[in-house]
Chain A
Amino acid sequence: MIKRCKQLTLATSVALACFTATLPAAQAAEEQFFPILSYRVGPYGANGASLFGGFIDYLNYVNMKGGVNGVMMTWEECETEYNNAKGVECYERLKSKAQKAPGPLHPLSTGISYALVDKTAADKLPLVMMGYGLTAAVDGSVFPWAFPLVTTYQMQASAIIKFLKDKNGGSLAGKKIVYLYHDSAYGKEPIVALEAESKLGKFELIEIPVPHPGNEQGAQWQRIRQEKPDYVIMWGWGVMNMTAIKTAQKMGFPRERMIGSWWAGSEEDVIPAGDAAKGYMSATMNVAGKNVPLIADIEKTVYGAGKGNLKDTAKLGSVLYNRGVATAIVSVEAIRTAQAKFGKGKAMTGEQVRWGLENLNLTEARLKELGATGLLPDVKTTCSNHEGSGKVKLQQWDGSKWVVLTDWIEGNKALIHPLFQAEAAKYAKEKGITPRDCSKEK
């Protein structure tokens, strides 16, 4: 009998535990749900951990400061391992929760964002690809639901060329530039822009692909040694960057003449390369370091309360961590913008958040207010310009930290943006989409 009783109490307590575990979900406050397709394992896990850590820390920070006019940010993570099929599965799993009041979706993978562009448009969920993804989506008339926000590969490539031009007295004519790229959608996107620039600037462009994941680059650097280029522009991600920097040292190519893209310019890329990385440059859309007031405040508020997302707090203030914060800022500001129009203190629907993203006006003054000066350039989006900025800074690794070399540099918009429109028009034709008329949008 006693045994029976014991069993019964055990069963009840288990049932109670189950019940209380489900309780918090039942509370009905105004909430904005972020489906987070993150990756912390797999080939790019180290990068994902820093970036999504920053993203979640900022959401936590916003909540601790009272939310967006009282609306709380909620989220759920799903591990994609940077794998397209898994990304789609995660998206399908989280989308029903996001349907009511979605926060912008950030897949942080060009492949996954390609797979989701049509799906998010059909489900009416805003997709933000900050600094990656389907760059043709800059043309919002064809892609109302997709936002390659802040800046794109093509504009970045153009900005790097502009930087090199300034360094060489205003002209690159007769110079030789190698474009060393990850042989995937990510690495291929900027080629059209670089080709257009090379025609315009009369420099020779040599394209050298590196197969995924890029841990073997002997042949590629052998070729670079033969070609004796003036500069190497590198579009790498993950292990490829470190290998490239080390191989450059082995082959005797000066790192001062190597410039990486913003995904090839984080601590994760240069620290493992050790001494070889000294002098290496990269573009970036956000500064590193904890001397940004917001980052310092996050450390104090969020980590002070023990709610930090990073396991390795040394990553706080790293390039990718700060980029994660910047990504979250854009998302939250879009919700704030939407609330200003559709009603403060209410959770925004997908359509409303989309409007917020399309009418974003993140001025320097607003960034200063947030304490985020330098975390991202000023952003002003419209229906016909889902990029909104197109500016990058150049930074250099001095052996222990990234040193910012320049102010914001804007790419050659007049040259690059028509390329987006052409690509978008081709996409619209293949898919049978009728573009909306941006002049009629308010």
Chain B
Amino acid sequence: MIYRETGQFKTDYAADQQIFPIRQDRVGIGILLLLAFIVVPLAAGNYWFNAILIPFLIFALAALGLNILTGYAGQLSLGSAAFMAVGAYAAYNFQVRIEGMPVLVSFILAGLTAAGVGILFGLPSLRIKGFYLAVATLAAQFFIVWCLTKFPYLSNNSASGVISVPNVEILGFTFDTPQSRYLLVLTIVSLLALAAKNMVRSTTGRAWMAVRDMDVAAEVIGIRLMHTKLLAFAVSSFYCGVAGALYAFCYLGSVEPDGFSLDLSFKILFMIIVGGVGSILGSFLGAAFILLVPIFLDIALPWLSALFHLPFDNATVSHIQLMVFGALIMFFLIVEPHGLARLWQIGKEKLRLWPFPH
């Protein structure tokens, strides 16, 4: 009833090709954007912006990047954090070295730099696939972090190898409050998510999925494998690179190469697995899950232990948190291996049939 599409007729191609063909979806997305752009900036406190919302959006973008590569094009990668590092350091260098460089342009250039590096490390994908490719992209993870520590030029000869980014200023407006930074990140992430959604609906996306499902068949029907795979690597790295630049400029403020470790790559990989491989929405849900559950447990567990007078100290809470988190991931993967996005899809289908399921 709630989700009935009866009466919604599509009379032209434009209507048929909308991103959200069902009115309820359009309204839902509209409300969501309204909430994100207007209500949240007015209502949320600094803690929410600095510790939850901004990192959530940034990681959602990185997960989106990986999802394009792994979820849509079927190329396993363990180098997402490295591409983020490339983006962060590139944006920093463009900012510091070129006088009067607009921040947004340096973000785009950072994405392009990451895309270039991504193509380079995507080359092995032409010969190998699956787990072997994942191991090859591991090389990116180690090589890039090593490179950034090895050459002091890349951190502007900072004595410690840590870069501390300049203020974000666009057209004379300085993004120094948490709200403004959140809005900046939200705008960039929304635009890139929209672009991704359109990309995966287009010829490019269909080619990616064809390669993912069966590359020999894809080649037979005339899809250029090399071109398609490398494009996926480039686009994915572009997204990760922009996420890295935002991570440095709008979240941490100062980053060191060690921060972009293999752990972070795994974290992003878990995000798409839990969220849903091959789904734009899944990237967001996964990022939220992976980021929020530990924070939630971190706050809830001491409160619970105080309530029931349990002798927990901080270390115990931290360990319990890891266990609960691991158990939750396992639970989700067993109950719904296609991720949270799939759960949402099932929910929608049920709502369509409600109250008369068949």
Contacts and interface: CB of A to CB of B under 8 A. Distances in A.
A211 B149 CA distance: 10
Contacts of B176: 122
B286 interface: no
B256 A96 contact: no
A423 B159 CA distance: 8
Interface string B39-67: 00000011100111001000000000000
A21 B306 contact: yes
B38 interface: no
Interface in B106-162: 146, 149, 156, 159-162
Q: Which of A88, A89, A110 has the most CB of B within 10 A?
A: A89
B306 A81 contact: no
A173 interface: no
B336 interface: no
Interface string B164-182: 1011000000001000000
A111 B258 contact: yes
Majority DSSP secondary structure for residues of A touching B = helix
Contacts of B306: 21
A431 B50 CA distance: 20
Contacts of B46: 92, 95-96
B252 interface: yes
Nearest to A431: B166
A18 B307 contact: yes
A315 to B, nearest CB: 14
Interface in A109-154: 110-111, 114-115, 117-119, 122, 134, 136
Contacts of A188: 159-161
Interface in A191-221: 191-192, 209, 211-212
A93 B47 contact: yes
B315 A79 contact: yes
Q: Which of B50, B160, B166, B317 has the most CB of A within 10 A?
A: B160
Interface stretch (A38-46, A254-262, A266-274, A385-393): A38-46
A57 interface: no
Given A92-B51, A96-B46, A114 B164 contact: yes
How extensive is the interface on chain A, given as a class? 35 or more
Interface residues on chain B, size class: 35 or more
Contact of B164 (A17, A118, A191, A432): A118
Nearest to A182: B258
B30 interface: no
B96 interface: yes
A441 interface: no
Interface in B293-315: 295, 298-299, 306-307, 313-315
Contacts of A45: 315
A118 B160 contact: no
Contacts of A431: 164, 166-167
Contacts of A209: 149
A340 interface: no
Interface of A: 17-18, 21, 38, 40-41, 45, 49, 77-79, 81, 84-85, 88-89, 92-93, 95-96, 110-111, 114-115, 117-119, 122, 134, 136, 183-186, 188-189, 191-192, 209, 211-212, 311, 423, 427, 430-432
24 contacts: A38-B314, A40-B313, A41-B315, A78-B298, A79-B314, A84-B255, A85-B55, A85-B252, A88-B50, A89-B55, A89-B295, A92-B50, A92-B51, A110-B162, A111-B162, A111-B256, A115-B253, A117-B164, A118-B254, A122-B176, A136-B159, A184-B161, A430-B96, A432-B166
Given A38-B314, A117-B164, 6 more contacts: A17-B307, A79-B298, A79-B315, A95-B46, A111-B256, A115-B252
Interface of B: 45-47, 50-52, 55, 96, 146, 149, 156, 159-162, 164, 166-167, 176, 251-256, 258-259, 261, 295, 298-299, 306-307, 313-315, 317-319
